[in-house]
Amino acid sequence: MKVLLSTLFLVLSGLGSTARAEPVVVVSAASSLRQLSQDEVVNIFLGRYRRLPNGDTALPIDQPESSPVRADFYRRLVNKDLNEINAYWSRLIFSGRTSPPLQASSAADVMVWLLGQPGGVAYVDRTQVDKRLRIVMEFAR
């Protein structure tokens, strides 16, 4: 039974990983920010606290809703699905507390905003990282 279960687990996780993106948290390479802890990223993207370690105000940017990296990012960050993230933001929006991350309508928008805004923080699939970006947080593998 144990062997069967672990085989099943391996098969399922194998299936999962082929379809999955690998999100990493990035800032502009021109930023003075070097690193963020996962707690800091949670605070920034869930609107709890948006001061960056370098003193700037963080400006988080979400990938488009249809982007698979968005679901993977929140899954890895807080183990929540997008419905739960939606419900979380509806609480904050309708109690007028804080604003959700900027909603980009395309991956290109994410890049434009990220490079153009001091404090811009986004997540992208690792394969999308180029020399304009700096990785400031990676999830443990």
Partner 1 sequence: MFITHKNCPMVRGRLWHRAIIGAIVCLGLGTPALSAAQGLTALNDPPDLPSVSLHGFGTLGLTRSNDDNAEFVRDLSQPNGAGTRWTPKVDSLVGLQANVHFSHSTEAVVQVVSRYHADSSYRPELTWAFVRHDFSPDFSLRAGRLGTEFYMLGDSRLVGYSNLSLRPPPDFYGSLVFSYIDGLDVTLTRPVASGLLKAKLFAGRSPEKTPYAPGLTWDLSGSTLVGGYLDYQHGPWQLRASHAQVQFHHEMPVNALTGQPYLSAVPAMAMAGQSVRFNSLGLVYDQGPLNVQLMLNQIKHDGLAYADSKAGYVMAAYRLGAITPYLGVSRSSSDVEQLPVIGDVFIDKVLTPSLVAQSVSDQHTYTVGARWDFQKNLAVKAQVDRINGTPSSVFLLKGTESGGWDGKMTVFSLALDFVF
Which residue ranges make up the site for partner 1 (CB under 8 A)?
39, 43, 48-51, 57-59, 61, 65, 78-84, 86-88, 90-91, 93-96, 99, 102-103, 112-113, 115-117
Residue closest to 28 by CA, chosen among 104, 138, 112, 101: 112
Cβ distance to partner 1 smaller for residue 82 or 126 = 82
CB of 2 to partner 1, least distance (A): 23
Alpha helices (H) along 31-137: 38-45, 68-78, 82-94, 107-116
For 17, the enclosing helix (H) or strand (E) is: helix 2-19
The smaller minimum CB distance to partner 1, of residues 47 and 125, is found at 47
Nearer to partner 1, 87 or 127 (CB): 87
